[in-house]
Amino acid sequence: MKINEMLFYHKATTHLCSSLNFEVVLDSCFGFFKEYFDLDGIYFNIFVPETKMIENIASVSNSGVNLSGRSIPLSEKQIQFIGQSTIGDINIVKKAHNNPMSLLINRELGEVNNSFMTVLLGIETLRLGVLGFYAKGDGVFSDDQARLIRLIQDPLTIAFSNTLRYREILKLKSLLEDDNQYLARELHKHAGTEIVGSEFGLSQVMESVRQVAPLNNHVLILGETGVGKEIIANAIHSSSGRAENPFIKVNCGAIPDTLIDSELFGHEKGAFTGAVYQKRGRFERADKGTIFLDEIGELPAPAQKRLLSVLQTKEIERVGGTETLKVDARVIAATNRNLEAMIKSGEFREDLWYRLNVYPILVPPLRKRTSDIPALVNYFIEKKAKEINLPYYPVPEMKEMEKLQEYSWPGNVRELENVVERALINCLADRQNPKLVFFPSSVTISEQPMPPNNGGVPSQSLDDVIKNHIVNVLQLTNGRIQGKNGAAAFMKINPSTLRNKMNKLGIPYGRKSTNFNKVSQQSQTGQD
């Protein structure tokens, strides 16, 4: 039967221009070409010279469209075969075993015996990709069918060029939306990070910030938990030449070991179970900006090794990927642990320590800068009063302020913030006599021990600090764990989590806590 070529051209162009969506165009073309060819499917592949692989963009068959995006490695013979092809070539493969690429496609399709007709689409010297038609059996495609494809080669090229560009635009749009959402969350976290005490107790720290901020050196921030290391890191970034670029925070202690690589360096689609899409890691997000690695001492050994490699080469590879990506991210790390002691015990890499410890900044604990406490208290009163809709800003009495300055603050600024918030809540409840009482009269502040100083790094273990803090809060709540005025509510954790922690640290509760003051004294003196 003679084919009306003008009608064929008109219909083919209509189907090719039916949409910018790759899936829709491919499916539409498949239905159209089946009217003229014995056809079981169509596929579109792109050759990526940098990785020596082809990417299967999409395929369509009687079972539907498959947007696999699968990358397929090539042999040297297959790469050589591709190099010999020129734009516009239409190749008919009557027997698959005579063609190295057809053998590969058959294997990917799970078929043994298919005939192929392929056309290499391109504009001038730019290769777009290969559009392939396949059908079961040998010698299915003819020269007459190849002539029909040649007839519509220009519309084919334009249509697939447009769908590829549209696909790339959608991908970039998705990445941009993802970045905007991520950065909006990060900006929300850092809103209002005013550095109270920069003129007094933190003056030396702020001088160090002013010195190092304009440079690109890595910075290591040391200090006890709750002293405000993240705020100092944010100040360094905000005062640097990278201020207009991302500030990405990573809490190394909060990410499971199995996910740390994916979070830091990203992963490719299909890299592991559940990796249903490509994901950029924190280092990629921080390109041209700053990445803040909080609790760096919690990184597992394998992640420490990979981090060292990134610091040395400024290159990363996504999990499951083969492409090396350049990243320009300034690293600010922070820890409340003694890294030098961890090096001796084999918990932390010495070479990573030297890479990070370019410019250390020690943030002093609150007990070493009690002159900042009045300013911090006023700041927290204003901030927390707004949060709980208190209609006024209470003014603490002098004796209450003196109590705060006498206390040792094992939880530092974070603990002070909780104490102020608790006092404001109690103040709100007692409208007839609204006074700020930071510590109940049952707590003798002068008996709180001053933790020993070891060059600015606490000699107490983290468990000891946590235990002291829990005991202090339990004293304030008279041993009550649950409820609105319980210890769990004040520490903003689940009551079950608090009980589990108390069990682990040997802190009694319930009927076991009848002699609570004795337990408190034992906890503060390091006895069980």
Confidence (pLDDT) at 430:
64
**CATH classification number, 5-168, choose in 3.30.450.40, 3.30.300.10, 3.30.300.30, 3.40.50.300:** 3.30.450.40
Torsion of CA 517, 521, 527, 528, to 10 degrees: 20
Confidence (pLDDT) at 386:
84
The amino acid at residue 187 is L
Q: Which CATH architecture has domain 366-524?
A: Orthogonal Bundle (1.10)
Q: Which residue has the tokens 């961890």?
A: 342
Confidence (pLDDT) at 282:
92
CA distance 90 to 104: 18
Per-domain boundaries in the chain: 5-168, 203-362, 366-524
Contact by Cβ (8 Å): 119, 157: no
Return the CATH number of the domain spanning residue range 203-362: 3.40.50.300
Counted residue by residue, the chain has a size of 528
Can you list the residues of the chain whose pLDDT is less than 70?
A: 1, 67-69, 98, 111, 180-194, 429-434, 440-461, 510-528
Q: Which residue has the tokens 């918030």?
A: 421
* Residue from 461, 468, 460, 476 nearest 420 by CA: 476
The DSSP code for 456 is: T
Query: Cα 443 vs. chain centroid, distance in angstroms?
Result: 43
Confidence (pLDDT) at 434:
67
> Reduced to 3 states, what is the DSSP secondary structure of residue 335?
strand
Q: Taking CA 302 as the corner, what is the angle to CA 297 and CA 306, rounded to the nearest 5 degrees? A: 90
CA distance 286 to 477: 43
Q: Which long-range contacts (CB under 8 A, 24 or more apart) does 350-358 make?
A: 351/308, 352/304, 352/307, 352/308, 352/311, 355/218, 355/308, 355/311, 355/312, 356/218, 356/220, 356/296, 356/311, 356/331, 357/220, 358/217, 358/218, 358/219, 358/220
Q: Taking CA 526 as the corner, what is the angle to CA 525 and CA 528, rounded to the nearest 5 degrees? A: 115
Torsion of CA 178, 65, 160, 137, to 10 degrees: 150
Residue 179, Ramachandran bin (φ over 0: left; ψ between -120 and 50: alpha; else beta): alpha
Name the H helices within 430-455. none
Buried b / exposed e over 119-129, threshold 16 CB at 10 Å, is bbbbeeeebbb
Tokens of 478: 């008279």
Confidence (pLDDT) at 208:
93
> Reduced to 3 states, what is the DSSP secondary structure of residue 12?
helix
Contact by Cβ (8 Å): 307, 269: no
Name the H helices within 266-346. 282-285, 301-313, 339-344
Which residues are 41's β-sheet partners? 61, 134
Q: Which residues contact 183 (CB under 8 A, 6 or more apart)?
A: 246
The DSSP code for 490 is: H
Confidence (pLDDT) at 69:
64
Which residues are 119's β-sheet partners? 90, 131
